[in-house]
Amino acid sequence: MKSNKAKRSSLQLIRRFWPYEKKYLKTVILDLFCAALTCLCDLILPLILRTITNLAMTDLAALTVSLVLKLTFLYFILRLIDAGAQYYMADMGHVMGVYIETDMREDAFDHLLKLGYTYYSNTKIGQIMGRITNDLFDVTEFAHHCPEEFFIAGLKFVVSFVILCTYNVPLTILIFACIPLMTVVSIKLNRWQREAFRRQRIQIGELNAQIEDSLLGERVVKAFGVEEREKVKFTKGNQEFQDIKKLTYKTMAAFQASTRLFDGLMYLLVVLGGGLFVIRGAISPGDLVAYVMYVSTLIATIRRIVEFAEQFQRGMTGIERFFEIMDAPIEIQDAEDAVPLQMKEGSIDFKKVSFEYPDDHNHVLKDLSLHVAPGERVALVGPSGGGKTTLCNLIPRFYDVTGGEIDVDGQDIRHVTLKSLREAIGVVQQDVYLFSGSVAENIAYGKKDATMEEIRQAAKLAGADEFISGLKDGYDTYVGERGVKLSGGQKQRISIARVFLKNPPILILDEATSALDNESELLVGKSLNQLAQGRTTITIAHRLTTIRNYDRILVLSGDGIEEEGSHEELLKKRGSYYRLWNQLTGEDGEKSNDS
Ligand code: ADP
Ligand code: MG
């Protein structure tokens, strides 16, 4: 039962893969035509030698120099054709494989860009990288060799069977009877091999992810002096990889040994049967020569299939892992009737919004209603884990609400295009990611056609122009992973300049300054205030002093909005905001209110 299922799934994978191959059907057909030509060459040689041997044994006078020259010339022409065909197969066949690989990688990347927060919070980047690089190399080989090898094998089996039968039927049937046995054993060993390859892939992905983790967190590792622990963890992963590779080689060895054993068996039959038949005069010596050569061709073909089986398994693994990416559901996408958001003034309405994270059935938000007026500045405060970030992530649809709806300017955000919605919203988060490229390119990330003048203007507004001008190459300074080192505050101001350039009517600031020191916080805080001018703004603040002047402050806890009002109103209430203020500022709320 189990083996049936595995076989079916191989077939299913090939069926799903077929459209990629079908796109290059012309090349596939030409490739198969060339494969047929090379088979012809292999199949004719025994006939030529048989003619010569038989004439030598029976009618030596007929074996003239001119006949030998004619046969040689015929074979020479066939070899030329064979060389041309081989060239085409090796070149165009592989190139077609590369085209298919490129198409698939393109599709995978396209799909990865559409996947949402849920996917990325549950997936290791190292694993994905392996899938869209190395795994697809194997698909290249598979795409080209799979049709070709099956075709060559099929053609050679059929033609050699027919020809061998003309010499001696019982011997041929005996030899071909061995082939199914070999095939069954090979399939079993193949499956074992495929499983080993699959595990090897998973383990190398794990190891990649682990190395990435240790190296990216290298500063933390050093600060805690836990190099030894990281080493132990790595050694374990590395050892597991070694074990799996050992297993893989064991499966390969069993495979190869069995192949040689079967080859031997077939020659054994030829030696025994052929010898006996010649003694009894059932076949001529020339036929025996041809016979041995055809059996050799047959054995070579089986060898090729066996070798190809490994490539086939690897290709299947690659295809399987490719489709695992393609099958990851796109959680957030445009509705069928989505229209561009009609931006007016930038109001936001939460209407009885509920939300729970997938796989985690605790309500983070429940029946929450909230109206943010155009241009209003609202601050969210409250205990860590209270749902502030979650609430903000719902507005650009990084997640979709699980109940209720959110409207922007009166339009349900699930019915407008994602592009137009996200264009209307600027987000500044605590972590800033700078892409590899110049400072200017990073600022213009959201507006590729921005002029240098606009970029500089945005940087000025973000309070970044001064330090950028002081960098080695000014706006052309290279940043990103291997670029110039910038302080947290500087990076944050670049990210604010990005948003200035984007100029969205709605702004979300999620603890944008909490990773910064006091001085940077002051600078960045100024830039943020500047940015918030005239925009509907929702701010999550960890320091309450920065939001004192906000139009409205909401205290969000696990139970929803606990309190709301201006700073003064909330202090007067002497509720949770009052307690929070005293806790975080160490000031007496009353006094600060009076002052
Ligand atoms: P805050 O920003 O107020 O600190 P969050 O919105 O980050 O709070 O988190 C609210 C709750 O949701 C917390 O209980 C947190 O554990 C949970 N949570 C946050 N992100 C995820 C996630 N990606 N998957 C599952 N649960 C999450
Ligand atoms: Mg948060």
pLDDT tens per residue across span 12-22: 999 999 999 99
Q: Which atom of ligand 1 approaches the CA of 121 most closely?
A: 23
C-alpha distances out from residue 297 to 10, 174, 554, Å? 28, 17, 81
> Are residues 234 and 91 located together in one domain of the fold?
yes
Residue with CA closest to ligand 1 atom 25:
357
**CA 446 to mean position of chain CA atoms:** 24
Range scoring the smallest mean pLDDT among 123-132, 247-256, 276-285, 391-400: 276-285
- d(Cα 262, Cα 243) in Å, to the nearest integer? 29
Q: How confident is the model at residue 587 (pLDDT cuts 50, 70, 90)?
A: low
Q: Which atom of ligand 1 approaches the CA of 359 most closely?
A: 25
Cβ of 144 less than 6 Å from ligand 1: no
Residue with CA closest to ligand 1 atom 10:
387
> Are residues 314 and 449 located together in one domain of the fold?
no
Q: How confident is the model at residue 539 (pLDDT cuts 50, 70, 90)?
A: very high
> Are residues 35 and 181 located together in one domain of the fold?
yes
In a domain, 565, yes or no: no
- d(Cα 371, Cα 431) in Å, to the nearest integer? 28
In a domain, 530, yes or no: no
In a domain, 392, yes or no: no
Q: How many domains does the chain have?
A: 2
Q: How far is the centre of ligand 1, averaged over its atoms, from the C-alpha of 323 (Å)?
A: 30
In this structure, the dihedral spanned by the alpha carbons of residues 137, 141, 147 and 152, taken in order and rounded to 10 degrees, is: -170
- d(Cα 57, Cα 284) in Å, to the nearest integer? 9
CB atoms inside a 10 Å sphere around CB 83: 12
Whole-prediction pTM = 0.79
Q: Taking residues 390-403, what's their average pLDDT?
A: 95
> Are residues 201 and 70 located together in one domain of the fold?
yes
Q: List pLDDT tens digits, range 427-445.
A: 999 888 999 899 999 999 9
> Are residues 449 and 322 located together in one domain of the fold?
no
| CATH number (domain holding residue 469) | 3.40.50.300
Residue with CA closest to ligand 1 atom 20:
390
Range of the domain at 436: 429-503
Q: How far is the centre of ligand 2, averaged over its atoms, from the C-alpha of 429 (Å)?
A: 10
Q: Which ligand is nearest to the CA of 393?
A: 1
In a domain, 566, yes or no: no
**CA 419 to mean position of chain CA atoms:** 23
Q: How confident is the model at residue 593 (pLDDT cuts 50, 70, 90)?
A: very low
Q: List pLDDT tens digits, range 155-205.
A: 988 988 898 888 888 888 888 888 778 777 877 787 788 788 889 988 998
Residue with CA closest to ligand 1 atom 27:
357
Best mutation site among 332, 357, 510 for ligand 1 pocket (most ligand atoms within 8 Å of CB): 357
Q: How confident is the model at residue 483 (pLDDT cuts 50, 70, 90)?
A: low
Q: How confident is the model at residue 130 (pLDDT cuts 50, 70, 90)?
A: confident
Three-state SS for 197?
helix
Q: Taking residues 281-291, what's their average pLDDT?
A: 83
Closest CA to 98 of 131, 127, 149, 138: 138
**Burial per residue of 180-210, b for 16 or more beta-carbon CB atoms within 10 angstroms, e otherwise:** eebeebbeebbbbbbbbbbbbbbbbbbbbbb
Cβ of 385 less than 6 Å from ligand 1: yes
> Is residue 537 pLDDT above 60, yes or no?
yes
Q: How far is the centre of ligand 1, averaged over its atoms, from the C-alpha of 389 (Å)?
A: 7
Please identify, among 327, 347, 374, the residue that sits at the C-terminal boundary of a domain: 327
Best mutation site among 353, 355, 390 for ligand 1 pocket (most ligand atoms within 8 Å of CB): 390
Q: Taking residues 324-333, what's their average pLDDT?
A: 93
Q: Looking at per-residue confidence, does 8 or 294 come out higher? A: 294
Q: Alpha helix locations (H) across 89-122?
A: 94-114, 117-121
Cβ of 360 less than 6 Å from ligand 1: yes
Q: How confident is the model at residue 55 (pLDDT cuts 50, 70, 90)?
A: confident
Range scoring the smallest mean pLDDT among 98-112, 385-399, 488-502, 543-557: 543-557
- d(Cα 8, Cα 338) in Å, to the nearest integer? 39
The pLDDT value recorded for residue 341 is: 95
The pLDDT value recorded for residue 595 is: 37
Task: Specify whether the CB–CB gap between 506 and 536 falls below 8 A.
Answer: yes
The pLDDT value recorded for residue 240 is: 93
Please identify, among 270, 302, 327, the residue that sits at the C-terminal boundary of a domain: 327
In a domain, 348, yes or no: no
> Is residue 307 pLDDT above 90, yes or no?
no
> Is residue 448 pLDDT above 60, yes or no?
yes
- d(Cα 95, Cα 101) in Å, to the nearest integer? 10
Which helix H or strand E contains 524, and what residues bound it? helix 518-532
Q: Taking residues 224-241, what's their average pLDDT?
A: 92
Kindly report the CA angle at 41 between 36 and 42, in degrees rounded to 5?
Answer: 95
Q: How far is the centre of ligand 1, averaged over its atoms, from the C-alpha of 387 (Å)?
A: 6
> Is residue 121 pLDDT above 50, yes or no?
yes
Task: Specify whether the CB–CB gap between 85 and 38 falls below 8 A.
Answer: yes
Cβ of 552 less than 6 Å from ligand 1: no
Please identify, among 260, 294, 327, the residue that sits at the C-terminal boundary of a domain: 327
| CATH number (domain holding residue 88) | 1.20.1560.10
Structure tokens, 315 = 């290709």
**Burial per residue of 520-541, b for 16 or more beta-carbon CB atoms within 10 angstroms, e otherwise:** bbebbbebbeebbeebbbbbbb
> Are residues 164 and 292 located together in one domain of the fold?
yes
Cβ of 389 less than 6 Å from ligand 1: yes
Q: Taking residues 9-14, what's their average pLDDT?
A: 88
Cβ of 388 less than 6 Å from ligand 1: yes
In a domain, 442, yes or no: yes
Q: What are the φ and ψ backbone dihedral angles of 176, each rounded to 5 degrees?
A: -70, -25
Q: Which atom of ligand 1 approaches the CA of 540 most closely?
A: 2
Cα atoms in the 13 Å half-sphere on the side-chain side of 148: 27
Q: Residue with structure tokens 């090898």? A: 149
Q: Taking residues 394-416, what's their average pLDDT?
A: 95
In a domain, 547, yes or no: no
- d(Cα 131, Cα 113) in Å, to the nearest integer? 15
In a domain, 260, yes or no: yes
Q: Which ligand is nearest to the CA of 429?
A: 2
Q: How far is the centre of ligand 2, averaged over its atoms, from the C-alpha of 428 (Å)?
A: 12
What would the DSSP string read from start to end of 304-348?
Answer: HHHHHHHHHHHHHHHHHHHHHHHHS---S---TT-B----SS--E
